[in-house]
Amino acid sequence: MKEYQTTIKAPFSLAGAGLHTGKYTHTTILPAEADTGIVFHRTDLSPVVTIPAVADFVTDTNHGTTVTNAGVSVATIEHLMSALHGMKIDNAVVEVDGPEIPILDGSARLWVDGIVKSGIQDLDAPRNYYRITQRLEWCDTKNGVELYAEPADGFSVECEIVFTSKLIGTQNALLSSYNEYRDGISCCRTFVFLHEVEQLLALNLIKGGDLDNALVFVDKPLGEEEKSRLAALYGRDKSSIQVRNGVLNTVEPFFDNEPARHKLLDFMGDIYLCGKPLQGHFRLRCPGHHANTELAKIIRSHIIK
């Protein structure tokens, strides 16, 4: 069955704080013509700066994926890119009036909801898949990172993560087809350990973090002094700072393996920076933004040969 390139039917917008900068920005997704791909426009600048969403423009993968053109960046693009990939949107213009995409609820769910509400429009051009024809890989054996792309019909991903903390341990997640993305992957939120929160704040990161947009795992007893500090940090009443099943926040995990599913979500966004929809099977062990985008660069080098 012949497939056609897609875009969204109507523009939609979402706004919120960026996870790391804390800056409040507005992001609007607009329809685009065939063969546009995904492009970012920094509309707060004059003239507007265009940044293609391809791996060549990746400049930072520290706790998120950043793309840069002509010295102008858009950070933390992975959840939005994941939604566009998972919903099979080939072409879109993303207008953002600041340096970072809003973190929203820490997942891709609200972007997916926006795409569904807008509707998906077929365009008069065939979808140009890049088919993986040989095994490609990016590995960092010292740190246990292994990413493989292998020939297969369709698109599928299996993901394994390994943490020494018993709260997560070893988890696996599987995406057998795009049909599973919306309900099984897009809602899965980012996660962090409590001891990492203050470290990240000291690095001038996660200024837009909140107990509602991340799963915060607590792998040690939480004292009253620390509860008071966290309550002040997040502007909450101390009594609301509680730990339930090892998770510190006001939300419950959607899945027992939500961290593994979120890592798969991130991969879906990062690998889409190869610039084309893919046909192949991906096996991931301990993926991260750096590894994901390096594999995207390898695939892209084969695409543009």
Q: Which residues are identified as catalytic?
A: 289
Q: Is 196 helix (H, G, I), strand (E, B) or coil?
A: helix
- The separation between CA 161 and the C-alpha centre of its own chain, rounded to angstroms, equals 16
Q: How far lies 43's CA from each of 13, 74, 97, 153, in Å? A: 14, 11, 5, 39
Residue 130: Cβ-neighbour burial (10 angstroms; 0-12, 13-18, 19+): middle
* CB-based contact 271:84 (threshold 8 Å): no
Q: Is 169 helix (H, G, I), strand (E, B) or coil?
A: coil
CA dihedral angle for residue 209, residue 181, residue 53, residue 273, rounded to 10 degrees: 110
Q: Is 57 helix (H, G, I), strand (E, B) or coil?
A: helix
Q: How far lies 96's CA from each of 24, 85, 163, 173, in Å? A: 10, 19, 35, 32
Enumerate the β-bridge partners of residue 38.
92
User: Which residue has tokens 């002509």?
Assistant: 70
DSSP classification of residue 214: S
Cis peptide before 47 (omega within 30 of 0): yes
Tokens of 121: 């429009």
Enumerate the β-bridge partners of residue 101.
none
Which of 172, 179, 180, 131 has the alpha carbon at shortest distance from 281?
A: 131
Pairing outcome for strands 4-8 and 58-60: unpaired
